Amino acid sequence: MNANRNTAVIKGNNQESNMKIKTSSLIRWAGLLVMVAGIIYAVAIGMFHQANILSSVTTTQWVIVHALATAMCFFFVLGITGLYARQVKEAGWLGLAGYLLYCLSWMLTALFTFAEVTILPLLATEAPTLAEGFIGSFTGETNLGVLANVWSLTGSLYILGGLLFGIATFRAGIMPRLAAVLLAVGSVLSPVASLLPPEHEPKVAIPVGIALAWLGYALWSERRKQV
Calculate mean pLDDT across residues 46-69: 93
- In this predicted model, what pLDDT tens digit does every residue of 167-226 receive, in sequence order? 999 999 999 999 999 999 999 999 998 788 878 889 999 999 999 999 999 999 985 444
Q: What is the pLDDT of residue 11?
A: 44
Count Cβ neighbours within 10 Å for each residue of 80-106 and write b for 16 or more, e otherwise.
bbbbbebbeeebeeebebbbebbbbbb
* CA pair distance 69, 85, nearest whole angstrom: 24
Q: What is the pLDDT of residue 193?
A: 86
Calculate mean pLDDT across residues 119-124: 92
User: Where does the pLDDT of residue 21 fall: very low under 50, low under 70, confident under 90, or very high at 90 and above?
Assistant: very low
With a pLDDT cut of 90, the percent of the chain lying above it is 64
| 13 pLDDT more than 80 | no
Q: Quick one: angle between helices 146-172 and 60-86, nearest 10?
A: 40
Please report, for the chain, the start and end positions of each structural domain, with discontinuous segments joined by +.
Answer: 24-226
Q: What is the pTM of this model?
A: 0.85
* CA pair distance 72, 69, nearest whole angstrom: 5
- With CA atoms as reference, report the closest residue to 74 among 114, 45, 120: 114
Calculate mean pLDDT across residues 86-108: 96
- In this predicted model, what pLDDT tens digit does every residue of 72-84 receive, in sequence order? 999 999 999 999 9
